[in-house]
Structure formats: structure tokens, C-alpha cells
Amino acid sequence: WRIMDQGCELLLEFRTCTETLDITACILPKSIEFWNSIELYACQLLLPSMKEYKSCFVNARNRQCAMQ
């Protein structure tokens, strides 16, 4: 969790620092483009859901538990 949380925090910090700048001429590294493209899904939807419903995700991975 810690590494993913750090990635989300870094992206938020990056956006905060650059939101008022005109960076259209700047070429972003692929790693930042990657985080930009999945930030909404991963940082705002997926990770919070996984943390909140951790027991459900654990059961889904357990083949002995029937999930419907």
C-alpha cells in the first residue's frame, strides 16, 4: 500500500506544482504520463475501495470461497 500511496501523493504534488504553469512545451516522462492516465481510477477509486473492502477482495482471491 505504501508505495502506491506514495505514487498517488507524488502525482498530486506534481499537479499542484504545475497546475498554474503553461507546460505545453514540456515533454513529460512516460512514468508521469502513466500515473496521469490512471490517477482517477487507481488513486481515487480502486485503492480506497480495496482498503475499505479489504476482506471482500481477500475472499475473491480465495478459490475455496464461492463468490456470486
Q: pTM score, two decimals?
A: 0.49
DSSP letter at 67 equals -
- For the stretch 10-66, pLDDT in tens is 878 877 776 776 666 677 777 767 767 777 788 888 888 888 888 777 766 666 655
Instruction: Let me know if residue 67 belongs to a domain.
Output: no
**pLDDT at position 68:** 53
Judge whether residue 1 has pLDDT over 60.
Answer: yes
Structural domain of residue 15, as residue ranges?
2-61
**pLDDT at position 25:** 67
Say which amino acid occupies 8: C
Task: Give the sign of the dihedral formed by CA 28, CA 32, CA 35, CA 40.
Answer: negative
How many domains in the chain? 1
Instruction: Give the chain's end-to-end CA distance (angstroms, integer).
Output: 27
